[in-house]
Structure 1
Amino acid sequence: MLVVGGGYVGLYVALKLQKKIANAGGIVTVVDPLPYMTYQPFLPEVAGGNIEARHAVVSHRQHLKQTELIQGRVVSIDHANRTAVVAPADGGDNFEVPYFDVVLSAGAITRTFPIKGLADKGIGLKTIEEAVALRNKVLDRIEVGSTMTDPAERARALTFVVVGGGFAGIECITEMEDLARAAVKNNPRVKQEEVRFVLVEAMGRIMPEVTAKQAEWVVEHLRSRGIEVLLNTSLDNAEGSLKLINLPDKTPAQEFETDTLVWTAGVQANPMVRSTDFPLEPRGRVRVLPDLRISGDEGIIDNAWAAGDIAAVPDLTGGGLPDGTCVPNAQHALRQAKRLAKNLWASRWDKPLVDYKHKNLGAVAGFGEWKGVANINLLGRIGLKGPLAWLAHRGYHGMAMPTFERKFRVIFNWVLSFFAGRDTTQLLDLDNPRGAFVAAATPAPKPAAPAAPAPAAPAEKAADAPQGGAKDPVKAEAK
């Protein structure tokens, strides 16, 4: 069995089936360019310094003992011939991997728009590497900005912008703001009122997963912390200074400079699916039935499965996206993976399959320590905000984190932060770790040799020397 992608779906499908398939004489193969699964709901807390980066990921090698792991990227699939082409992560030659069943679980990537300067200046919050880089960037800009004397340069360094008012954007900017406050307290050269945070959202409201009343409270909460919230506003240009426009009338809104631009404005299905022979829906996701089998206009495609952000899974509860599919989030991905594993194994023995149907339990979001909002669907809809919502956020995600070992590490991080405070230690030169060694190993240039003294100029004849070769008058007198 080939599993394309080792994220939420891929990890859980392999965990649930590796032993069963091995006992039946087969093998589960997981192909992913990364050696770990990233629990993305924890990325804002990693960026904010509350969770150690390695604790927000789950090692494939450590937990998939009976799975064949290939670190690479599936570049194409020919399901008619049951083969996939893999490009290894080390840049070697592509090779084919045969399979019997295939599970598409390559997830989603950041969705961007053709905005000038965005690719050069922006950073996303989709990977653990981005979260670590963002944390270090915030701390670096505050430290560097505190020594600047030019007002314009200082303002640019201390301005932080997040584009996207969904869960990721709100949690990101609030954790960054909490981190900045902690850093400013330790730096007497900069004042909190100098640090500027700006949230840019194209829609007229933020966080569509919560009620309108809760969304309004979140905006008020952000503004009470000094965060500027710009609704109905879009980023028009990121070259040089940021140029924002008002969407209703397309008029210029603001223009200012920043060194930190975070893009969290949505996701899209991994484009690798375009290099397969599977049917896609208009948004670029694989078409699947409620039982998670891939199906097209000509019917079910045997031995092909998909789930998570890469699949258009019908939402049988009626509470999903406008097109009737499940919202692309971790809650659905984790539960779809478990259902897919059960259905795939049942199909091997010609047993009936069960449709995926899961009522959304609600939404929880953390806005930094003891701050948050939650919309919980249990015995009715329960709206929470403040400390209770923050506790609900940590409780849910602490339980949802895959594997007991990782749960323990994350909870220990929280306990440690409760007593020791948020970690504001900046790690430098992660993008150039050999810099110090190269500098030490490079021979110092030899000092330049001292310049040779200039040759003495030939003695000039005295202007008052006697003409005609007369003797020196002093010597003549001595005689």
Structure 2
Amino acid sequence: MNKHILIVGGGYVGLYTALRLQRRLQRELRGGEARITIIDPQSYMTYQPFLPEAAAGNLSPRHVVAPLRRILPKVRILNGRVTKVDHSERTVTFQPPEGAPRQVAYDVIVMAAGSISRTLPIPGLTDIGIGFKAVGEAIALRNRVLHLLDVAESTDDPEVRRKALTFVVVGAGFAGVEALAELEDMAKDSTRYYRNIKPSDLRWVLVEATNRVLPEVGPEMGRWTLEQLRERGIDVKLETRLESCTDGHVILSDGSEFDAETLVWTAGVKPSPVVNDSDLPLDERGRIKCTAMLTVAGTSDAFAAGDAAGVPDVTNPGQYCAPNAQHAVRQAKVLADNIVRHLRGQQLVEYRHKYVGSVAGLGLHQGVANVYGVKLRGFPAWFMHRTYHLSRVPTLNRKVRVVVDWTLALFFKRETISLGEMEHPREDFRAAVATTRR
């Protein structure tokens, strides 16, 4: 066979495709007749549905990531970025963390580059805004919330205190609602350790441009979620847009203005920029144009899936598969099998899915679910949320570690310590050096 399969991206699609190829092509890989390479900036895959729990301290951040080299011993992992794809020449330009870029040749390419946060040109967004797609962002957000509780406890200035205790989340999809619910639950629980902060002092604002929250779980469950959030004292602003947040002064389209130290941006995603630096065809939404067989339309030896790919939904003609983890994991299985069929000259099959449903966590012991038409809320939905995602975490190793974290949380209170200095570990040393020079 002697083919080089290059996978751009080590997320859901990249990891699960490589894992299945590693099993299906075991003999060829051992004999050197086929090679698989993954290129990704990180050496791990992040299981994003668990980011809210990591941010809230229910899970260790190391347990929501899967190390690529350990899971894929027969796959070569290159850490860095693909800056250009020249499929006509079957090469990509690879930029490692250090050193000059170089060309990497391939026979078959899999575009699994995923997505990045879709932002808007809003004044001040880069000043206080933070995304919620990476484990680093989740932990930085956790540290920030806890640090601001410390700030509020230690100041006598009411304006500083009010600004520190105001938190804004933009976007009411899965990421926004789950992040807000878990962090609000953690912050409220943490107030028991502060003398001068009560749960009612915390202000959480959810800003959503449409007229509903969690559209993925259906109108009825979405309305229930909205009621639950408002009962918890969360200020949910529907059909409202963020106009500005310069210097932490938030201005919304409904005319309201207030100061906030923290703003979480979860208002959608867009394909990774690498898709624009390739000669592969794109659709009207800027995604790689695909067929139902997960091949790149009009090309040979090229496959794509996940957030960066426009995959037709054959169960709903005229529509495309949504950019979510459920599709990514299922597409990866079909994608890997189709690559094997392609290498062996066999007929490819279409990606066809049956909608399972959606589950969302709303903090400890609270959730909402719509699975196979069965609608659940409260504790049963929360339990289903955890059970479903535990079944999707790659490797037994990670499953066991997650269960251990959850079990310990039943007997011990979660940690509410800010370790924000981890984000700037050299500051104290630099200050010591500066003092010495004086």
Query: Equivalent residue for 2:420?
Result: 428
**Alpha-carbon displacement from aligned partner over 1:358-389 (angstroms, at most 9, x marks no partner):** 11210000011110100001xxx100000000
Amino acid at match of 1:230: K
Query: Equivalent residue for 1:450?
Result: none
Aligned-pair distance for 1:129?
0.4
Cα pair distance change 1:411/1:434, threshold 3 Å: same
* Inter-partner Cα distance in structure 1 for 2:375 and 2:344: 44
SS at match of 1:96: strand
Amino acid at match of 1:363: S
Tell whether 2:338 aligns with 1:343: yes
Match of 1:389 among 381, 384, 392: 381
Amino acid at match of 1:329: N
Kept after mapping to 1: 8 A contact 2:140/2:423: no
Kept after mapping to 2: 8 A contact 1:182/1:422: no
Amino acid at match of 1:174: A
Aligned-pair distance for 1:352?
1.9
Aligned-pair distance for 1:438?
4.1
* Inter-partner Cα distance in structure 2 for 1:343 and 1:163: 39
Query: Equivalent residue for 2:46?
Result: 38
**Alpha-carbon displacement from aligned partner over 1:60-104 (angstroms, at most 9, x marks no partner):** 1211111111111001111111111011122x1110000000000
Larger Rg: 1
* Inter-partner Cα distance in structure 1 for 2:19 and 2:199: 47
Query: Equivalent residue for 2:292?
Result: 290
* Inter-partner Cα distance in structure 1 for 2:305 and 2:420: 39
Tell whether 2:16 aligns with 1:9: no
SS at match of 2:353: coil
Amino acid at match of 1:223: R
Query: Equivalent residue for 1:134?
Result: 141
SS at match of 1:209: helix
Amino acid at match of 1:395: T
Amino acid at match of 1:59: P
Following superposition of structure 1 onto structure 2, how do residues 79-478 of structure 1 map, counting pairs within 5 Å?
Answer: 79-90=87-98, 92-240=99-247, 241-246=249-254, 252=255, 254-295=256-297, 299=298, 301-318=299-316, 324-377=319-372, 381-440=373-432, 444=436
**Alpha-carbon displacement from aligned partner over 1:299-352 (angstroms, at most 9, x marks no partner):** 3x1110000111111112229xxx500111001101100110011001111122
Kept after mapping to 2: 8 A contact 1:18/1:27: no
Query: Equivalent residue for 1:475?
Result: none
Kept after mapping to 2: 8 A contact 1:147/1:189: no
Amino acid at match of 2:285: R
Aligned-pair distance for 1:430?
1.4
* Inter-partner Cα distance in structure 2 for 1:281 and 1:119: 29
* Inter-partner Cα distance in structure 2 for 1:210 and 1:103: 31
* Inter-partner Cα distance in structure 1 for 2:415 and 2:393: 22
Kept after mapping to 2: 8 A contact 1:61/1:69: yes
SS at match of 1:120: helix
* Inter-partner Cα distance in structure 2 for 1:414 and 1:347: 43
* Inter-partner Cα distance in structure 1 for 2:75 and 2:343: 19
Aligned-pair distance for 1:4?
0.3
**Alpha-carbon displacement from aligned partner over 1:170-227 (angstroms, at most 9, x marks no partner):** 0011001111012101112211111110000000111111221211111110011110
Q: Is 430-439 or 417-426 further displaced after alignment?
A: 430-439
* Inter-partner Cα distance in structure 1 for 2:301 and 2:413: 51
Under a length normalisation based on structure 2, what TM-score does the superposition of the two structures give? Answer: 0.95
* Inter-partner Cα distance in structure 1 for 2:218 and 2:86: 44
Amino acid at match of 2:398: R
* Inter-partner Cα distance in structure 2 for 1:375 and 1:421: 30
* Inter-partner Cα distance in structure 2 for 1:421 and 1:330: 30
Amino acid at match of 1:14: A
Q: Is 346-355 or 118-127 further displaced after alignment?
A: 346-355
Which consecutive residues of structure 1, in runs of 5 or more, have no partner in the other structure? Answer: 247-251, 447-479
Aligned-pair distance for 1:428?
3.1
Aligned-pair distance for 1:423?
2.3
Aligned-pair distance for 1:444?
3.3
Under a length normalisation based on structure 1, what TM-score does the superposition of the two structures give? Answer: 0.87
Task: Tell me the number of residue pairs that the alignment of Structure 1 and Structure 2 aligns.
Answer: 429
* Inter-partner Cα distance in structure 2 for 1:35 and 1:349: 30
- Structure 1 runs (4+) deviating above 2 angstroms are 434-446
Which consecutive residues of structure 2, in runs of 5 or more, have no partner in the other structure? Answer: none
* Inter-partner Cα distance in structure 2 for 1:440 and 1:115: 38
Query: Equivalent residue for 1:67?
Result: 75
* Inter-partner Cα distance in structure 1 for 2:401 and 2:311: 32
* Inter-partner Cα distance in structure 1 for 2:45 and 2:304: 17
Greater RCO (Cα-Cα under 8 Å, separation 6 or more): 2
Higher helix share: 2
Aligned-pair distance for 1:258?
0.3
